């Protein structure tokens, strides 16, 4: 069975929100063809107008919005700067509501979740969107159970993902649901992306969270990242920052909202997650991240993520 997948395009759409998932489905078809099998997907870009201009300036040719009643497997709404204007378009909202009623599943990438929520499709459902718009989303749609951390979320036949490249992770998950893990992993290898990042993984990282406009402690953070395996004290960090420990603690807390030692632990936990996702033993993760002992790692990991390192490894390793 060939599954029809409709990508809703609009002016100022984020191009990668469309092309990322689109390539996943196209690559799945390519792998099936190599195996002598028919294509599984019939992806199509649809829009109110025949040409839409993405936020990057690249124009897309689109087919007309399909009429109600025509068969469709999946409707996918990408995000982009134009989504707010789309949320005011009653014609598009009506179309989406009608298509969602007949589709096997509905998905969004990034801020595309705003349109799903505007159409009432996410009421009472768990959902995800780009971390930068989570606070706004919660205020506008209090009936949606927004989860600000995951890469993607599935609630029944509704799938929503975090920002931009997370759309590739979501599409890989859809392929796995349809065609099995082997094909999904084959697509991931062909695209040279992560084997498969499960939705429960975080869209945040300590390094990303620490980026700010001032860059005052960038050099210190770089040194910390390069020396995670070594014992690091507050005095060591103060020496690198050319400050006294007390001065560093005061200025660092004002700049980042946390203590230097808290940042060090977050960096080490990021390293642990990366190693566990590779299938590395917990003892090795403890040593290479600077926690030293498995017990110290277990306590910090459970305090931060609510699960043991071993349970995380079993769930998320490839």
- Which of these, 158, 173, 124, lies nearest to 25 by C-alpha position? 173
CA distances from 31 to 26, 40, 179, 308 (A): 9, 10, 11, 37
Told to judge if 87 belongs to the known catalytic residues of this protein, a careful annotator would answer no
DSSP single-letter state for residue 111: G
- From the candidates 110, 121, 128, 210, which is the catalytic residue? 110
- The vertex-193 CA angle with 190 and 198, nearest 5°, equals 120
Q: Are 128 and 162 in contact (CB under 8 A)?
A: yes
3-class SS of residue 32: helix
Cα separation, 300 vs 308, in Å, equals 9
Residue 296, C-beta contacts closer than 8 angstroms, at least 6 positions apart: 286
Residues marked active site are found at 110
């Amino acid at each position: 069975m060939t599954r029809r997948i409709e990508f809703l395009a609009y002016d100022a759409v984020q191009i990668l929100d469309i092309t990322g998932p689109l390539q996943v489905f196209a690559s799945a078809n390519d792998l099936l063809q190599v195996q002598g099998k028919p294509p599984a997907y019939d992806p199509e870009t649809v829009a109110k107008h025949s040409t839409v201009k993405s936020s990057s300036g690249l124009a897309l040719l689109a087919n007309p919005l399909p009429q109600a009643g025509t068969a469709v497997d999946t409707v996918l709404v990408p995000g982009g700067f134009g989504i707010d204007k789309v949320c005011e378009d009653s014609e598009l909202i009506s179309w989406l509501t009608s298509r969602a009623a007949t589709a096997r599943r509905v998905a969004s990438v990034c801020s595309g979740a705003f349109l799903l929520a505007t159409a009432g499709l996410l009421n009472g459902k768990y959902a995800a969107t780009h971390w930068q718009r989570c606070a706004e989303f919660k205020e506008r749609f209090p009936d949606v159970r927004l989860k600000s951390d995951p890469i993607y979320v599935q609630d029944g036949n509704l799938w929503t993902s975090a920002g931009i490249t997370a759309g590739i992770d979501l599409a890989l998950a859809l392929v796995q649901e349809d065609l099995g893990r082997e094909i999904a992993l084959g697509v991931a290898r062909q695209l040279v992306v992560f084997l498969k990042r499960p939705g429960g993984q975080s869209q945040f990282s300590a390094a990303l969270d620490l980026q700010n406009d001032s860059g005052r402690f960038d050099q210190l953070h770089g040194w910390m990242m390069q020396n995670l395996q070594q014992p690091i004290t507050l005095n060591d960090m103060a020496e690198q920052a050319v400050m006294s420990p007390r001065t560093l603690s005061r200025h660092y807390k004002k700049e980042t909202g946390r203590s230097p030692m808290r940042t060090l632990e977050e960096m080490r936990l990021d390293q642990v997650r990366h190693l566990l996702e590779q299938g590395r033993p917990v003892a090795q993760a403890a040593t290479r991240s600077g926690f030293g002992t498995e017990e110290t790692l277990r306590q910090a990991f459970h305090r931060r993520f609510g699960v043991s390192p071993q349970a995380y490894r079993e769930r998320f390793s490839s």
